[in-house]
């Protein structure tokens, strides 16, 4: 269970609601996007996750938003003959990760808010083949990225033929290029299409 990682999708519709967030900060972040009016936050208080019992206890905040417990033993392998052959899974203990990882942190650089591509959520939201690149979340009017015709939700994949694997790498490349005062070519994915821009 990780800290809230909003995926930048326009037009969520009217049914993103009644969710359980880990922290009040995460809940407020979601609500600031216009969703989750009746959602709440807190530890779900699972009964016994080490044994695969993900029902929640009577004082769980999940019950306040309409979650209902259901039996943990009437799904999966049910046939007695097959149960004898099935392996017993090891259940991971959920840990509450209430802060973002380095890859999910937003960095401000040259009038832009940027973050690294991280996880299947980002890959799905931005139509990416892998987890390489840096996402543009917001641009100020005077940003050099905006002057180069880049837009919010663009994913910078390459700079002068060098694959971008991290935000630190992108910042370092641009700082080196600023010293030479030469233009640079950026390969960007926009709406699942590769495009080239000159900066």
Report the alpha-carbon distance of residue 188 to residue 59 in Å, rounded. 48
Range(s) of the domain holding residue 135: 102-198
Identify the domain boundary among 76, 98, 120.
98
Note whether 119 and 93 are same-domain residues. Answer: no
pLDDT at position 178, please? 78
Report the alpha-carbon distance of residue 120 to residue 118 in Å, rounded. 7
Note whether 122 and 34 are same-domain residues. Answer: no
Note whether 187 and 121 are same-domain residues. Answer: yes
Note whether 79 and 106 are same-domain residues. Answer: no
pLDDT at position 66, please? 94
Identify the domain boundary among 78, 98, 118.
98
Note whether 91 and 106 are same-domain residues. Answer: no
pTM confidence score: 0.58
| Secondary structure (DSSP) of 121-137 | HHHHHHT-SSS-SEEEE
Residues in the chain predicted with pLDDT less than 50, given as ranges, are: none
Into how many domains does the chain fold? 2
| Secondary structure (DSSP) of 37-106 | TT-EES---EEEGGGTEEEE-TT-GGGGGT-----SSSSS---HHHHHHSPPPPPPPP----S--GGG--
pLDDT at position 127, please? 86
pLDDT at position 174, please? 84
Q: What is the CATH number of the domain that holds 131?
A: 2.30.42.10
Note whether 57 and 38 are same-domain residues. Answer: yes
Report residue 128 as tokens. 């990416």
Identify the domain boundary among 56, 81, 98.
98
């Amino acid at each position: 269970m990780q800290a809230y990682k909003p995926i930048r999708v326009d037009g969520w519709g009217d049914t993103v609601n009644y969710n359980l967030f880990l922290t009040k900060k995460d809940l407020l972040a979601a609500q600031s996007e216009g969703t989750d009016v009746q959602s709440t936050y807190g530890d779900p208080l699972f009964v016994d996750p080490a044994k695969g019992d993900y029902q929640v206890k009577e004082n769980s905040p999940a019950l306040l938003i309409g979650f209902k417990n259901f039996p943990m033993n009437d799904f999966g392998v049910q046939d007695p003959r097959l149960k004898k052959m099935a392996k017993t899974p090891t259940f991971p203990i959920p840990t509450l990760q209430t802060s973002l990882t380095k890859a999910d942190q937003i960095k401000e650089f040259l009038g832009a808010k940027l973050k690294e591509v991280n996880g299947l959520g980002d890959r799905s939201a931005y139509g990416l083949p892998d987890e390489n690149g840096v996402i543009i979340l917001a641009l100020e009017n005077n940003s050099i990225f905006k002057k180069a015709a880049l837009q919010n939700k663009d994913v910078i994949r390459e700079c002068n033929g060098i694959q971008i694997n991290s935000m630190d790498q992108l910042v370092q490349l641009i700082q080196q290029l600023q010293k030479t005062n030469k233009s640079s070519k950026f390969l960007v994915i926009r709406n699942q299409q590769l495009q080239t821009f000159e900066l």
